[in-house]
Structure 1
Amino acid sequence: MSKTNRVLFLCTGNYYRSRYAEEIFNHRVGLEGLGWHAFSRAVAEQLPPQNVGPISPYTLEALQAQGIAPGGATRHPVLCTVDDFAAAALVVALKDAEHRPMIAHRFAGVAHRVEYWDVDDIEYLDAPTALGKIDELVRRLIGSLQIRDR
């Protein structure tokens, strides 16, 4: 798959928000028959030790409630590299205030490519509200891609 149709979702630990965005995006573009695919990564310098297992139970629960079998449920979180930026046409970080400093520090040369959303992590916003925001933002993103690809 070429860079021209890949979206990279970023969050701190690649465990909860970015994984949900990746899974919900891939499910929806599959239903729409769009030629896009998402992948996700962590922008932290190290994976947070408090994240147990491959993916957040909140993410799994929300996907299962929508009848979505997550394709990456067994994949453990992955740290972002510059190559990940190179492999993506679009890069979205899930929380501006949280992720912009990390991205500026670790990826200064490509930081200008990132679009920032405003979805708080679990300690600041309950999972149903946060994941609902991601649902809406992913819907909007897919809508903009449909217009762009016409």
Structure 2
Amino acid sequence: MKKNRTEVLFICTGNYYRSRFCEMYFNHISQSKMADSKGLLADKGLTEGPLSVHTIAFLNDLNIPFDLQRFPSQLEEIHLISTPKVIALCEREHRPLMEEQYPDWANKITYWQVNDIDFTEPRLALPELKTRVEQLFQTR
């Protein structure tokens, strides 16, 4: 079955680590639905390269192919308008950014509680995200 419309949008700060893993994992397990990911501060140059080494390592552990050609991508309002399900990966971190950048959307999206690397080690965060994506996929 062909995937043609983005059903889920994962957002985080830099679109480099957590949101990119969620996007790639969702798309790997889905035959018919598609996910995308964006960053609230992706245009600020906070990342080095296209994808976190932690995301690369975990995708390799799961035998999931990935593309190193795509660099982090900035969230724009059109992405919020055009996607039925939007998930920010850490409410404590992302709600203030949503309220600042997209105040009309701050209360319309879903927030998970998966902290960035400065609060939660990738060896814990990435498996948690994997489980959350699987749960989401089962309810879609």
TM-score by length of 1: 0.86
Q: Which position in structure 2 is the counterpart of 1:62?
A: 58
TM-score by length of 2: 0.92
For residues 21 and 104 of structure 2, what CA distance do their matches in structure 1 show? 27
Correspondence for 2:35 among 16, 35, 38: 38
Matched, 1:114 2:115: no
Indicate the RMSD between aligned Cα atoms, in angstroms. Answer: 1.4
Q: Which position in structure 1 is the counterpart of 2:44?
A: 47
Q: Which position in structure 2 is the counterpart of 1:148?
A: none
Would you say the 8 A contact 1:119–1:130 is kept in 2?
A: yes
The runs of 5 or more residues in structure 1 that have no matched partner are: 146-150
Counterpart of 1:141, as a letter, is L
Q: Following superposition, which runs of at least 4 residues in structure 1 exceed 3 angstroms of deviation? A: none
Identical amino acids, percent of aligned pairs: 31
Counterpart of 1:73, as a letter, is L
For residues 46 and 65 of structure 1, what CA distance do their matches in structure 2 show? 29
The runs of 5 or more residues in structure 2 that have no matched partner are: none
For residues 101 and 88 of structure 2, what CA distance do their matches in structure 1 show? 14
